[in-house]
Every structure is written in structure tokens, then in C-alpha cells.
Amino acid sequence: MKVQDMTVEEFKALIQEVMEEKLEELLGDPDEGLELRPEIRERLRLSLAAVKRGQRGIPIEKVAEELGLEW
């Protein structure tokens, strides 16, 4: 697909993907080699299980509003 054939949203997504790849290449993963604490591992496990059951967390818009951020 050529850039001229992309929608604005597709082009933005492409730029975002390229930027993320480049930042990862330059900065690497600062958490690489670290281990999760058992309580964090359990919270992640429970969270993933809830998502599989169709449950969702707090919408990002609500979180942003509560923190006084624009989203």
C-alpha cells in the first residue's frame, strides 16, 4: 500500500508503529532480565483471566478524567 492511498488514521498508525520500533531499538527494554514479584504475577494472571471472561477494567477516559488529564 502506498502512503498516498492511506487514510489519515492509517498513516498515523504507521507512524506510531515505526516510532515504537525505533524507540525499542534505541532504548531497549529497561525491565529485561527483571523478575515479577509473586503478588504482581498473580494480579496479572487474575487480570488476564477476567479479560478472557469478557470483563473489562476502567475506561481510559474515566481514568484520565479522575487524574485531571485530557484524553
Burial class (CB in 10 A: 0-12, 13-18, 19+), 8: exposed
Res. 29 pLDDT band, cuts 50 70 90: confident
d(CA 37, CA 17): 30
What pTM did the predictor assign? 0.42
pLDDT confidence bin for 32, thresholds 50/70/90? confident
Helix (H/G/I), strand (E/B), else coil: 56: coil
Nearest in space to 62 (alpha carbons), one of 49, 71, 53? 71
C-alpha cell at 56: 473489562
Q: Where are the domains of the chain?
A: 1-32, 35-71
Could you read off the pLDDT of 37-65 as tens digits, one per residue?
A: 999 999 999 999 999 999 988 889 999 99
